[in-house]
């Protein structure tokens, strides 16, 4: 479901979310890589758990994030209604070096996670 009626109150929430560099970096990862846990974001952004949680809490209360429990982790993603405007904003920020580095770190971390998962599955399959 895409945002059908963009009003000033919803716009205010989105623009306030973009008023902090930490939240911009989190939104960039979620917009480009679909989901992440707090522990993923801590590692990628080099933030403390407290700082990461505070910004996630703000974004979730702004109505921009969904959350989904997977095992012992909670994964966050952007709400579908907000994707259009957030994608448009990031079109203007796509050359930013810090945002590119964050996505590269996510990709490396995700790749390492997949390698580990495959090793574990292969090990249990051989036994």
Banded pLDDT at 50 (limits 50, 70, 90): very high
The per-residue pLDDT for 8 is 84
Q: How far apart are CA 23 and CA 121, in angstroms?
A: 35
Asked if 79 and 64 count as a contact pair (C-beta separation under 8 A), the reply is yes
pLDDT(23) > 90:
yes
* Residues 59 and 65 sit within 8 Å (Cβ to Cβ): yes
DSSP string, 59-110: HHHTT-EEEEEETTEEEEEE-HHHHHHHHHHHHHSTT-HHHHHHHHHHHHHH
Whole-angstrom Cα distance, residue 123 to residue 31? 34
Contact in structure between 77 and 35 (CB atoms under 8 Å)? yes
Q: What is the pLDDT of residues 60-106, one digit of tens each?
A: 998 899 999 988 889 999 998 888 888 889 998 988 999 999 999 99
Task: Read off the DSSP letter of residue 42.
Answer: H
Residue 89: phi and psi, rounded to 5, are -65, -45
Domains of the chain from N-terminus onward: 8-126 (1.10.10.10)
């Amino acid at each position: 479901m895409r945002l059908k009626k963009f009003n000033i109150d919803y716009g205010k929430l989105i623009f306030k979310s973009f008023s902090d560099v930490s939240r911009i970096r989190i939104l960039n990862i979620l917009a480009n890589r679909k989901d992440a846990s707090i522990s993923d974001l801590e590692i990628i952004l080099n933030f403390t758990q407290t700082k990461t949680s505070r910004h996630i809490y703000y974004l979730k209360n702004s109505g921009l994030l969904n959350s989904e429990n997977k095992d012992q982790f909670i994964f966050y993603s952007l709400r579908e209604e907000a994707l259009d405007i957030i994608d448009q904003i990031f079109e203007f920020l796509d050359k930013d070096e810090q945002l590119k580095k964050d996505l590269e770190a996510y990709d490396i971390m995700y790749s390492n996670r997949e390698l580990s998962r495959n090793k574990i599955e292969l090990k249990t399959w051989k036994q």
